[in-house]
Structures are given as structure tokens and as C-alpha cells.
Structure 1
């Protein structure tokens, strides 16, 4: 990324500012946070909770209540991946993610002999079986639709598709006809039921570009392509239709209404620390980790990582991260046995950093119980990282 005319610290601090990671929006509603800072990637871990807590101090109950009221919801969206979206973006999120289930159906037709007619009939049966109020889990849906679900045998298992049910559920979700709801109301669990829905699906690539460059700008066209999954031609056209403007001397683009604010922005003098998931939007909207890493930290070994691998060479953080004005200044994980955050800091801890650690530790311990990175993360699987973090220690302060 060509940005030699803009100091890295200024870019990082601006991104943190636009992501509301500067303590400026305490108590903001979950939907407002997501509308202003971007959709929160959800993979069955604690990332949405940690992100909303860091940005607005929201507790788990407040977030779960927003989910229950459909002010925010987890939906398949950009690239077909699941994100937590505000209600204003439900239609757009579904529209930009609609291609993924179609691609999965095409692949199943090619490799497993599944026809569109078969899946469309299954879609009709599922839609008739579901109500808007009482969620049915996949097992109950299979029982309700009888023989409409077909087992795909060993060939299907090899492709991660044991029956035709996921194909139909994916299409119905993308069409806004059903939605997936967590059985216990929590975003960091992966047991779901499905209910009927009637959600319009609408929006263009340019609509996504307008939002993206407001959340993530300055960002390059490459960054936008990563987030959206668009081709080069589609991304260029969408950015042009969105009216984004270039940042002089760089390959970065910005929403036009932010140009003056960016030009006049200065880096805050005092640090402001937040503890975030490794897949938080401050990283994942661009997925360009080097932006947030100081050169002095790039060579740090990964906690429990393979020999020869260093932090600066990774595509994604391998742990949760501590941030200060856009710079990653530490690694952390949660030890469920000791009920505490274990960390490796790159800077000496001051009173503000100790307080950020204390607040987040209390939040995880009292409201979440754990801070899983993703659905398959577990206390046992992260034990080597925790041991490595304890051994590494942190600078004294």
C-alpha cells in the first residue's frame, strides 16, 4: 500500500477513531455501533460481544436484547460469511451475500448430482414447516419435511455436505424467507433453530461501497475487494458510483464526506487501550495486518506458533489483541481455569492499560464465561498459547 506521505501512526489512529475505539461513544445502541463502524464478523466466538463492549461499553444482556428485538441480527452477508448487522442493513447484507448459496448449489449439482428442482421443492417444504415464532432445529426440520431431505452419502461427506438440507437452508436465508436464531439467544454459541421470515432483499454493489469506505476508509480497492468478494471490474465500478475520493500520494480511497475530517485529524496525545478479538473489524475490514503493526513488533514470535513464523508475517492475528490508537500493542487470551486474562504486552503497562485489562477481564468472567475466538476454540485448544503468553511476560511499568 502506497501511503508514504501519511504517517502510519496517523492512519492507525484515524482508523481507530472511525471504528469508535477511542472511548467517544459510551452507551451507544448496538445497531448504531454496527451502522457506523461496520458489520461484525461472527464465527461462533466472542468477537461481536468484545467489539460492542470495547466501542460502547455494552454488556452481553444489552446485546442479546438487541438481537431478540431484531435491532441487530446475524446473517449471511459479504462473501457468504456470517456477520452481525444492524436492521438498516439486513436487505443489503442478504443481497451482497446471495451468490454464495447459488455457488454451493451449482457445485452440488456438478459433483453430487443434486438438481435445482430437487432443492426448490425442499425449500417449499421447509417454508411450509416453519413458523415465524417457534424455532425448529435442523433435526426437527428434517422430521417435519419427511423424505424431502436426501442423504448424499460418502461423496457428500467428502465435500462437507452430508444431506441436501444445508443447500435449501442457505437459499432460503439468502432470500430473506427464513432466519437462523441462536437457541439460547447468545451470539457466541453455535446451536441454532430456524423461523419463517419476510425480509426484503435489496441493494447494489455501490451501496456496499458507500458503507465500506465510510467504515474502513482510507482503504484501497484491494481492501474493498477482500471484504466484498467482488471482481476487480465490479469493485471499481461500485467505488466510482459511490463517489469515493482518492487520498493524495496513496492508493487509498475515502468517502467524500470524510475528506475534510481526515485532512484535519491529529493523533490523540494520550493512549486509549481496548481489548479486541483477532477478527475484529479494525483488522478484518481490510485484512491487511501490517497496517496495525509497528515495525518494532513485526518480528515477534507467535505465542505457541511454529518456529520461524512471526507476527508481522501473518494474514490474521493468532490471538486476541490489545490496541492503542490503532496500533496492536499486545496479545491476550482468557484462561477459564484461573478466570483471568493472560497477556503479552509490547509496551509498559500504565494505569489506563491496567484498567482496560481489568474491565475486559471482569466482562468476560462475569458475562461471557469465556472469550472463544471461533466456534471450535476451547480452553484445551488454546492452552499452549496461554502457557506461551505467561512465559513471555510483559515490560514492567
Structure 2
């Protein structure tokens, strides 16, 4: 499905926000879909030991934590290091080539070790010993258990290593094995919103595409997930060079589309026609998302999601629209940020600040997400080190702004 690009004057920030909202499946179009379907349609869910993967699935398809955890246990979805070496939750069809994209980031730590006199054959031998230990173990082994099992095969790198973030040789070996699909990390309690892992042996079939093919696959997925992005936005997500990006864009047949703001978006040809026919929904569509949700993070363009009259809004003297990353989680209506929220586990409630008086639809959705967090998650952490104490100032600031 292709057609002439829509008139640039019609591609206003408001229309493009609603278009991205639709492409992300936040309009109810993914209700009832599986975890794999959501991640294929909306994009990989960023995982940093926080609850974003759970809210990604809940907001789009109504999937609860227990179902998500069952899907993780069944390897239908899994957390893996991929683009930029960052960890995302992926669907199983993307495992092999997704890992391939993160391979360079897994190799990079060895360069640090090499400067401290560690030879490649030492790491290769350690990889084989790790793999043997995991194959022999009846249960997954955490890093401490592996160090105890492997003894002197794991070399301490002393104070110099600690300063460079490599206290022993084990993390590098684990990273290389994981990037090859020979081992995988298992969350110790089966949950995605923490960062305590053990490792188990794996035999993931290798990728069937070369590196150029993997980059083209990612660009195709990325443009489909976002509905269109600038070259700079795509490079932030992929970490591809300009030459790699341009080749991948050519491989997927991407085309340039001008917008009312003067930007040029790269889009898949079929999406150009879909955008030309797209009409923004007339009625409210309210969602509470994580600050690392795909809608926000894939293009890192939260500033564009504020309406003009809200661009000067501040929390704790921070102008929200000037931040590369949101300091709190967003409340949105059809792609427009209309407020912010944090979860207060001590009071089992959401602290929410909406820029205007909340409508019935806004209050209803806040109550729904609040109940889901309370009953399904217990807390909503942004990342592994997030805690009720660390976010109390932000909770207080949202309450004060809402007073």
C-alpha cells in the first residue's frame, strides 16, 4: 500500500503525535494480543530492572504480570542485550539477530581487560569452563556460585580493574557467551522488575542474516514501531553510523516525508499511504506509561509531546520540555503529555499531577493503573536502584503541583 505523501502542512505535531500513538497500539488496537504480538507491533521494551516491560504489555493488551512472567519462563519473550548493547525484552522471533546487533558491545569490555594484560585465549578458556559448569548444574547459577565453582579460573583484576569497572574476568566471559546465545540470564524470582540474575546454558540457533541484514531488519522494525523518525532519532536508537543508517534505509526502501515543523521523517513506503489516510481520534484515549516506554524512548522526543501551553511546566525547578528524558512517568491523551505520575507504595496510590483539571476518563485510568500496580506489582520502579525513598521528593513535588 503506497500513495503520494501527505501535504507537509497537514503533518502538524498534533497529528503526528496521534499517528505515533496509533502505531504504538495505545489506541486499544492491541487488546487481546499476546506478549509477542505487542513487542512485535510496538517495539522492544526497555528493561533496566524497572517495571516498564510490564506496563508496556498491560497498557496495550491488558496483559498482567503473571501472564508476562509465564511468557518469560516459556521463552516466548526474553530480556537480551541488543541495540547499543542495551537490554530490551524481545519476542522470540527476534532473539538471534537481536543478539547479533549487541555483539560489538559485548566484545568492548575485553579491550579494557586487554590493557590490563588479559589475553583472549584466557577469556576463551573461561567461557568454556563457564559453559561446562552451567551444563552440569541442575539449576541456574548466579555469579557468586559461578565464581565459587570455577575457583582460580576467574581472575581478580585488583584495584585497577575495579576502577575500570572490571573487578574480575567473569563478567566479560558471561557477556560474550550471552551475545553468542550459548547462555542466557534468568531472573532469580522470575520477575522482570529487578536485576538479580542467574545463568543457564542455552543453544540458540545462530542468526541467518549477516550484519548488514541485521541492521536492515532493525531499521525496518524501528520505522514500523515509530511510524517514522528523523535520521538522528534512528541513529540514537540503533547506534548505527551515518553510512550504516543510509544503507539500511535504502535496503528497506524508506522514503523522506516533510512535516509542518520543517523536519524530514524517514518512513516505510506503506506507512506513507496509511498516514495520508489517518484521522486522529476525536475522543480521549488516556494512558499512564513509563518514562522509558517505547512511545517516548524510541525517538527520545518527549519535548514534542507537550502542547505549546504546557512547554513551560516545571517540577522541582526543572522545565519538563527541556529534558532529554522525563524525570517522571507521563500521563498521555492520544500522544500528548497531559500530566506526570509516580507510584507511592507506602500509601498504595499514584501521585498524579495533570496540567488541567482531570476529566472523568483521566481519573478512571489513573484508578485502573493504580489498582493494577497495587495488586499485580506491589511497586512501580523506574530502574533497578529506584526505591520509595529515592523518589519521595518527586512524589511530594507532584502532590504539591496538584494542590
Question: TM-score category by the smaller chain?
Answer: over 0.9
Which residue, out of 209, 217, 225, partners 1:207?
217
Most deviating of 216-225 and 271-280:
216-225
Q: Which residue of 2 aligns with 1:277?
A: 290
- Identify unmatched segments of 5+ residues in structure 1: none
Q: Which residue of 2 aligns with 1:347?
A: 356
The question of 1:230 aligning with 2:235 is answered no
Q: Which residue of 2 aligns with 1:59?
A: 64
1:342-364 CA-partner distances (Å, limit 9, x unpaired): 01101321111111101100010
- Identify unmatched segments of 5+ residues in structure 2: 1-7
User: 1:378 Cα shift?
Assistant: 0.2
User: 1:224 Cα shift?
Assistant: 1.0
State how 1:1-397 maps to structure 2 within 5 Å: 6-110=11-115, 112-131=116-135, 134-202=139-207, 203=209, 204-249=214-259, 250-302=263-315, 304=316, 307=317, 309-393=318-402
Aligned-partner Cα distance in 1 for 2:381–2:138: 29
Aligned-partner Cα distance in 1 for 2:323–2:298: 16
1:313-344 CA-partner distances (Å, limit 9, x unpaired): 10000111111111111110000110000011
Secondary structure of 1:136's aligned partner: coil
1:62-89 CA-partner distances (Å, limit 9, x unpaired): 1001101100000001000000000010
User: 1:103 Cα shift?
Assistant: 1.3
Aligned-partner Cα distance in 2 for 1:6–1:258: 14
Most deviating of 239-248 and 122-131:
239-248
Secondary structure of 1:218's aligned partner: coil
Count matched residues: 387
Secondary structure of 2:314's aligned partner: coil
Aligned-partner Cα distance in 2 for 1:344–1:114: 53
Q: TM-score, normalised by structure 1?
A: 0.95
User: 1:5 Cα shift?
Assistant: 5.1
Secondary structure of 1:63's aligned partner: helix
User: 1:4 Cα shift?
Assistant: 6.0
1:171-214 CA-partner distances (Å, limit 9, x unpaired): 00000000001011000011111000011342421111111111
User: 1:247 Cα shift?
Assistant: 1.3
Aligned-partner Cα distance in 2 for 1:268–1:80: 37
Aligned-partner Cα distance in 2 for 1:63–1:27: 13
Secondary structure of 2:332's aligned partner: strand
User: 1:291 Cα shift?
Assistant: 2.1
CA contact (8 A) 2:112 2:164 kept: no
CA contact (8 A) 2:19 2:227 kept: no
CA contact (8 A) 1:182 1:193 kept: yes
Q: TM-score, normalised by structure 2?
A: 0.93
User: 1:133 Cα shift?
Assistant: 6.2
Aligned-partner Cα distance in 1 for 2:206–2:361: 44
1:50-108 CA-partner distances (Å, limit 9, x unpaired): 11110111100010011011000000010000000000100121011111011111122
Supply the RMSD in Å over aligned alpha carbons: 1.4
Aligned-partner Cα distance in 2 for 1:247–1:50: 32
